[in-house]
Structure 1
Amino acid sequence: MKIAVVYNRESQAVINLFGTQNREKYGLETIRKIREGLRRGGHEVRTFEGDKNLISNLEDFMPSVISGERPGLVFNLSYGIQGRGRYMHVPGMLEMLGIPYVGSGPETHALALDKVVTKIMLMQRGLPTPKFAVLDKPDSPLQEDLRYPLIVKPKDEAVSFGLRIVHNEDELREGVQVIYDTYHAPTLVEEYIEGREVNVALLGNNPVEALPPVELVFGEGPQIFTYEDKKNESGRRVEKVCPAPLTEEETARVQELAVSTFKVLNCYDSARVDFRIDQDGNPYILEVNSMASLGGDGSLVFAADKIGMDYPALVNRLIDITCERYFGRDFFDEESHQEKTPADKLFQRLTTRRSKIEEDLQVWTNLSSRTEDAAGISAVRKKFEDRLGKLGLKQKEEWTNGRSAWTWETKAGLKDGTLLVVPIDVPGARTGYPIPFRREQEWIYGEGVASSRGGMTVILSALQALKEEKLLSKTNVGVFFYADEGRGMRYSTPMLKKAAAEAAEVIVLQPGFVEGKVVDQRRGTRQYHVILEGDPERVGRRTETHDVLSWFLEQTPKLKELNSRRNKIAVAVQDVRSERYSVLMPHRITAQVAITYIDEALADKTEKAIYDILTPKQKGMKSYMELLTSRPPLLRGSAAGLLEKLEETARSARLPFGTESSLLSTASGAVPEGVPAVCGAAPASRNQFTPNEALHRSELVQRSLLLALFLEKGASR
């Protein structure tokens, strides 16, 4: 489970600093102990400061979960950066983001931090608390009938800030003046209860468990727990005794009052209630700590240890309590989450290593391999082959040309198995700086992240999970990867046809569509290189004939007229370049014209029409048209059985699934007739082949899982 430990310590990353600054901080050692304890519990843990960068950090660490996957949560240690309502800031942000978190909600922290409001609520419920008054200013009259000695403290501060005993009017006014000057806040004045101080820590929600009471033994000096005591600056040692030496009746009474207080303030998961017990054994509730300290010397940690709950057990117990509150009692029930089948184990492996999969994607994305970059392609190829070799796959020489196409297979071989197809080149020439890898909540950006790297990562993730479950070696799988996607597979297609003919089915790892949609139909593409030559003409010369550029521009509307939505055919001029001498008009035009189509016969007819349109009739002008690439279409209905198996696999894992058609051509069209082929098995993309290319983040693990489960079924047959 992903757990973000959020605290406030060093960062002051806010837009402006003003108002009451927080002075409560967890020590680095405590944060480390919490992190390590959670890791011992099997969780993936990262720590973050609770500042204005928290939202983007959590977006990066906790993408949206898939069905059946355990969501992440926040272990909240944040006291806030500034302001009187600072305890509420991080819980409020988390509720807005929809992220579960350990501890009480913002409304509870607001009540508990305001000691006056807390005492009023306790009194309304008939719970005992010392008599009190509130002095807004140092010279405010004390109208309530209170008996000295009295306790003075800020009404909405914690950790005993400003706490002191006063014995007369002069000391009272002095104490209120200090609080007013230091905290700019009203002072809570309450009767001092002569007697013993006891804390009761609480865990759980329904039911709430009261831990054994802890008594604070102060020794010499004031019989109260001051800020200096808590910071070990008072020169004395305050001892803790647990269980507190109380009678059974007294113990039951303070535990009962603590639970009632917990419920009155609507606390969650854990808290601590502080008591004074007078000389007659009567308990009085002093205050509620809605964020009970997890420091090593805190009463909650001390009491938990006395009942056999060490530090790792305590922090993981808090996770269990929180998950039970959010997701139900059986969230951590061992039997309900037991990995019973290979499919269950694959699900667990892939969903718990989401971060590692994304890190793998980042590594591949940061390796540039543009189509024209031979050195980059070589580096990626060697690294990809190294990964396949470590998975136990071997290269199949018969279906490898060593320049643009490579085929690898498992120990069981490809025969009658599944061929996975993916490009390792990113179409286009390398120009400028590469697009940096970056993550957002829903999308991941980078050079070739969707058009190549997403598919590569899905293949490796799925095969790695199968290997760890000892299933890969007996699964009939082949991996065909090629390096001329940017050239329309001009050189790798013959190898793909040979490898695909050996397989029972082909899955092409090119981007699909959101909501788990794969591609069951893709248009074919033909690209033509056109050269148009004519005589050089002077600018402004009167002539009955056109210069080549003007003539070509007149023909382009005629090419557009060949488009037909009904017939699913489109013609487009993709590139135009001209050559000229000095100040003369162009004498040569080179252009690239493309057709996308479904019907081959209609494509042949359109090709002839293009040739006729671009064949000049005027004297002194001639043209040439050459077919550069031809990528056949993937026709709907040719892979019905394969789609049914994929859909069944997705349904059993509660993964989204559907089909969609695409205008872009891929390797799927080169698969021989009679071999079922599906494309779009890689995560969905947007802005493909542009500097803003992005991959759908959640689908990275979804598609990895779908592929692993699909191949696992093949291994079990």
Structure 2
Amino acid sequence: MKIAVIYNHLEIDDSDVINIFGMPNKERYNPKTVEKVATALEKGGHNVRVLKGNMHIIESLQHFMPKVVRGERPGMVFNMAYGIQGQSRYTHIPAMLEMVGIPYVGSGPDGHTIALDKVLSKMLFQRNDIPTPLFWIFSRADEDCTDVQYPVIVKPKMEAVSFGLRVVDNEKDLKEAVDFIIKEFNQQALVESFIPGREFAVGLIGNSPDLEVLPIVEIDLCGDPNAIQSIDDKMKQPRGKICPPELSKETTDSINKLAIRAFNALGLHDFARVDIRMDQNGDFYLLEINSMASLGMTGTYVHSAKVKGYTYTSLVNRMVDVAAFRYFGDSFIQNDIDVAKPGKKKSEPLHFRIRSYIRSQLSTIQDYLEQMVAINTNVNNVEGLNTLGNWISTRFNHLGFHRQAYPQSEVGNVLYFSNHLKEHNNVLILGHLDTKYDFDTYIPFHEERGRIIGSGVAESKGGIAIILGAIQALRFTRSIKNARCGILLTTDDTLGGRFSKKLISEIAQKSKCVINTKYGDIKGGIVTSCAGTREYQILLSNIKSRKINQEPKDIISFVTKKVTAWQKLSSEEKGILVKVVKLNAWATEGISSDHASVTIFVRFNEKNKSKEIDRQIIKIAEKDAANAFHVQIKRSFRRLPVQESSESLKLFENIKGIADQLEVRIQPMQRNTSSDICHVPEHIPALDGFGPIGGDTHSPNEYIIRDSLIDRSALLAMIIYKSSKFTFEDKQS
């Protein structure tokens, strides 16, 4: 199952909110705890993303979550976001998830609202005959407090984790405490009768009628019935925990029943922690319910679960189970990680370990990408291309790959890496180092709202980062040894593979299948067919006569008519695009010739259209030119289109099985740009689009989705691992 773990950063960032308005939330999870939850979910077999719970969360979820309306398996959110600011902060993420239709672990907005508002919850406790201490509400420190019965405990009306707690036994201290709460927390102060005695925490997991009560935890007050557990105790020096405490079976049952009644009275879901005080007469008083019980390692909830026999992994996955059962009527989880007998540790499936490793290395993969973007690799910058090539070679050498360089004079050296000495590859991975960006069009690496932007991040360098991430994961899991993999990185993709196309063809001929790593489509599209392209440069000059009164032909009007004629060759129905991408013309006085230069880009989807388009472009160029104009035609790079074949579809089906296992969405697509798979022999299965999800290539906004580095690296790693078992025979009907 796809699970997004949502949390809040320790500090509010400018990109988190539109304005900083209202009371900032003081409650945050330690990032290490968030990571621990994510790791536990991955061990449970889930595809996990960790996302910030800010104003961009819906956009982030849109890129990751399955589309159930399309028949995809549902995903879920594991909500660890306490809210950024303002009122009823526990409700913010659940309310947004309700709006967009994403299931989540934990209580809904209504349950959180009541549980967080201590006054509302106490009113409901009273209505349901659940004992709770007497209480008073103060909006100002100078309000009449003559009816208050001391000692009392003063706390914020809508805070958790013991923020602002203070026990007082006189009017002067009460007014000071109320004044502090109102000013510090910008909310009313709740004044509650203080109950001397013992304090207990009861963890709950599940939903009625199958609500599981975890062992009761007693807070060790060191024998002082007037002691409390302050925020410093919880955060800095947690008090000792007694689990199970010394209680009779009758008392234990009474506390458990009280906790269940309170949970149901507030309409909570999935998990919570109930705080109860018992006075010296053995009477119980329910203090409050935390509808987002802490999953920190020092908290009572996790401590109690461990006493019950849960590991951290099994506890977190159990929480997902009960939420999935509540939503779907049956658990989607197949958790067998912790059911193994003691001493018999079950190994996790390879794809779990690969994805978990890649997610843990995401910052490293991102650093690699940033370093690559910092190197200018315009196709004409030979020094920059070779600098990047040497940087990549060092990393592949550390990963145990052999390097072979193919020197080039006009572009950078083409590089080939392999992890074996056999003649044939199970899979050939293609990528390229060059970009169209020059020094004046270069865009530096930067992040915006979960996107990475920079020159070449989608078109080329993101794909190389994916390759590095995949190989590192395979090496870490010791799964690379038997995977015969070749990696070919070219330096002339911008020129249509002018110098490398023969080499691509030769190495592909010795490979079982070919995978190219240009950017992936935002909807998960994998390129099974792509357009062919060709470029022409047409030079025109007029012929001026020395004869008096004989005016030369006007080159400006002449070339303008031709541009119009060329553009008319475009046909959406036939899949043909003819576009003039550059036009220069200049006229001079005297007998010197006037000149024009036209660059034409052609895109076509069918191979048989290539010669016809070529003939028509030349015909238009030469028309009416005799005795008046010189015409020179230069054909630049050409790539023939790749049409969808049975071989490529069979390769796609092999990979689709892997993607389904990883819960990575892919679907076949036609791309209206060309790539190096155009140079792969027709009988060799070849697909493109295995780089990170992205778009807006060759523009200042070229981007990739940051988190897609995880899915695409894991997918490529599993493709390499399983490539030896790929079959391309027709299935028996």
TM-score by length of 1: 0.78
- The answer to whether the 8 A contact 1:269-1:318 is kept is no
**Which residue, out of 62, 75, 80, partners 1:75?**
80
One-letter code of the match for 2:254?
A: R
Aligned to 1:518: 526
Displacement, 1:623? 1.6
One-letter code of the match for 1:209?
A: V
Structure 1 residues 275 and 677: alpha-carbon distance in aligned structure 2, compared to 1, 3 A threshold? closer
Is 1:533 the counterpart of 2:541? The answer is yes
Is 1:499 the counterpart of 2:504? The answer is no
When structure 1 is superposed on structure 2, of 88-97 and 494-503 the one drifting more is 88-97
**Which residue, out of 117, 126, 132, partners 1:114?**
117
Structure 1 residues 687 and 184: alpha-carbon distance in aligned structure 2, compared to 1, 3 A threshold? closer
**Which residue, out of 583, 593, 597, partners 1:590?**
597
When structure 1 is superposed on structure 2, of 576-585 and 325-334 the one drifting more is 576-585
Structure 1 stretches lacking a partner, 5+ long: none
Displacement, 1:363? 3.8
Equivalent positions of 1:319-358 (< 5 A) are: 319-327=316-324, 330=333, 332-334=335-337, 356-358=364-366
Equivalent positions of 1:197-596 (< 5 A) are: 197-206=198-207, 207-214=211-218, 217=221, 223=226, 225=228, 246-267=247-268, 271-290=272-291, 307=307, 319-327=316-324, 330=333, 332-334=335-337, 356-396=364-404, 403-415=412-424, 417-438=426-447, 440-441=449-450, 444-511=452-519, 513-534=521-542, 545-581=552-588, 587-596=594-603
- Provide the rounded CA distance (Å) in 1 between the counterparts of 2:435 and 2:690: 18
One-letter code of the match for 2:212?
A: V
Displacement, 1:576? 1.3
Displacement, 1:374? 1.5
Aligned to 1:125: 128
One-letter code of the match for 1:553?
A: T
Displacement, 1:377? 0.5
Structure 1 residues 165 and 566: alpha-carbon distance in aligned structure 2, compared to 1, 3 A threshold? closer
For the residue of structure 2 that corresponds to 1:388, the secondary structure is helix
Aligned to 1:604: 611
- Provide the rounded CA distance (Å) in 1 between the counterparts of 2:163 and 2:350: 55
One-letter code of the match for 1:457?
A: A
One-letter code of the match for 2:88?
A: G
One-letter code of the match for 1:660?
A: M
- The answer to whether the 8 A contact 1:523-1:662 is kept is yes
- The answer to whether the 8 A contact 2:429-2:488 is kept is yes
Displacement, 1:679? 3.7
Displacement, 1:487? 2.0
Q: Deviations over 1:648-695 (max 9, x none)?
A: 331354154443333323222323454444344444543222222234
Displacement, 1:431? 1.9
Structure 1 residues 317 and 98: alpha-carbon distance in aligned structure 2, compared to 1, 3 A threshold? farther
Structure 1 residues 630 and 345: alpha-carbon distance in aligned structure 2, compared to 1, 3 A threshold? same
Structure 1 residues 381 and 17: alpha-carbon distance in aligned structure 2, compared to 1, 3 A threshold? closer
Q: Deviations over 1:294-338 (max 9, x none)?
A: 789876678779x499xxx88667634433333456454328996
- Provide the rounded CA distance (Å) in 1 between the counterparts of 2:572 and 2:648: 29
- Provide the rounded CA distance (Å) in 2 between the counterparts of 1:704 and 1:114: 45
For the residue of structure 1 that corresponds to 2:434, the secondary structure is coil
Structure 1 residues 8 and 58: alpha-carbon distance in aligned structure 2, compared to 1, 3 A threshold? farther
Structure 1 residues 323 and 625: alpha-carbon distance in aligned structure 2, compared to 1, 3 A threshold? same
- The answer to whether the 8 A contact 1:215-1:243 is kept is no
- Provide the rounded CA distance (Å) in 1 between the counterparts of 2:413 and 2:491: 5
- The answer to whether the 8 A contact 2:418-2:486 is kept is yes
- Provide the rounded CA distance (Å) in 2 between the counterparts of 1:46 and 1:684: 15
- The answer to whether the 8 A contact 2:539-2:631 is kept is yes
Structure 2 stretches lacking a partner, 5+ long: 67-71, 326-330, 341-345, 727-733
- The answer to whether the 8 A contact 2:79-2:106 is kept is no
When structure 1 is superposed on structure 2, of 352-361 and 258-267 the one drifting more is 352-361
Displacement, 1:581? 4.4
- The answer to whether the 8 A contact 1:274-1:285 is kept is yes
Structure 1 residues 395 and 683: alpha-carbon distance in aligned structure 2, compared to 1, 3 A threshold? same
- Provide the rounded CA distance (Å) in 1 between the counterparts of 2:84 and 2:433: 47
CA RMSD of superposed structures (Å)? 5.0
Q: Deviations over 1:524-543 (max 9, x none)?
A: 33322211112579xxx997
When structure 1 is superposed on structure 2, of 8-17 and 247-256 the one drifting more is 8-17
Displacement, 1:142? 8.8
TM-score by length of 2: 0.76
- Provide the rounded CA distance (Å) in 2 between the counterparts of 1:240 and 1:349: 35
Q: Deviations over 1:482-505 (max 9, x none)?
A: 111222222222322332333344
Displacement, 1:351? 6.5
Aligned to 1:668: 677
- The answer to whether the 8 A contact 1:152-1:187 is kept is no
Equivalent positions of 1:149-168 (< 5 A) are: 149=150, 151=152, 153=154, 156-158=157-159, 159=162, 161=164, 163-164=166-167
One-letter code of the match for 1:575?
A: K
For the residue of structure 2 that corresponds to 1:262, the secondary structure is helix
Is 1:650 the counterpart of 2:656? The answer is yes
Aligned to 2:647: 641
- The answer to whether the 8 A contact 2:543-2:630 is kept is no
- The answer to whether the 8 A contact 2:578-2:601 is kept is yes
One-letter code of the match for 1:323?
A: V
- Provide the rounded CA distance (Å) in 2 between the counterparts of 1:346 and 1:170: 62
For the residue of structure 1 that corresponds to 2:80, the secondary structure is strand
Displacement, 1:109? 3.8
For the residue of structure 1 that corresponds to 2:678, the secondary structure is helix
- Provide the rounded CA distance (Å) in 2 between the counterparts of 1:71 and 1:449: 30
Task: Tell me how many residue pairs correspond in the alignment.
Answer: 689
Is 1:694 the counterpart of 2:703? The answer is yes
Displacement, 1:453? 1.8
Displacement, 1:288? 3.4
- Provide the rounded CA distance (Å) in 2 between the counterparts of 1:426 and 1:512: 17
Aligned to 2:69: none
One-letter code of the match for 2:654?
A: E
When structure 1 is superposed on structure 2, of 343-352 and 419-428 the one drifting more is 343-352
Displacement, 1:208? 3.3
Structure 1 residues 291 and 514: alpha-carbon distance in aligned structure 2, compared to 1, 3 A threshold? closer
For the residue of structure 2 that corresponds to 1:474, the secondary structure is coil
For the residue of structure 2 that corresponds to 1:380, the secondary structure is helix
Structure 1 residues 148 and 336: alpha-carbon distance in aligned structure 2, compared to 1, 3 A threshold? closer
- Provide the rounded CA distance (Å) in 1 between the counterparts of 2:323 and 2:580: 57
Structure 1 residues 465 and 494: alpha-carbon distance in aligned structure 2, compared to 1, 3 A threshold? same
Structure 1 residues 570 and 268: alpha-carbon distance in aligned structure 2, compared to 1, 3 A threshold? closer
**Which residue, out of 608, 619, 633, partners 1:625?**
633
Structure 1 residues 459 and 261: alpha-carbon distance in aligned structure 2, compared to 1, 3 A threshold? same
For the residue of structure 1 that corresponds to 2:120, the secondary structure is helix
Counting aligned pairs with the same residue, the percent is: 24
Structure 1 residues 7 and 294: alpha-carbon distance in aligned structure 2, compared to 1, 3 A threshold? farther
- The answer to whether the 8 A contact 1:545-1:618 is kept is no
Displacement, 1:226? 8.5
Displacement, 1:129? 2.8
When structure 1 is superposed on structure 2, of 431-440 and 363-372 the one drifting more is 431-440
Q: Higher Cα Rg: structure 1 or 2?
A: 1
- The answer to whether the 8 A contact 1:138-1:173 is kept is yes
Displacement, 1:371? 0.7
Aligned to 1:64: 64
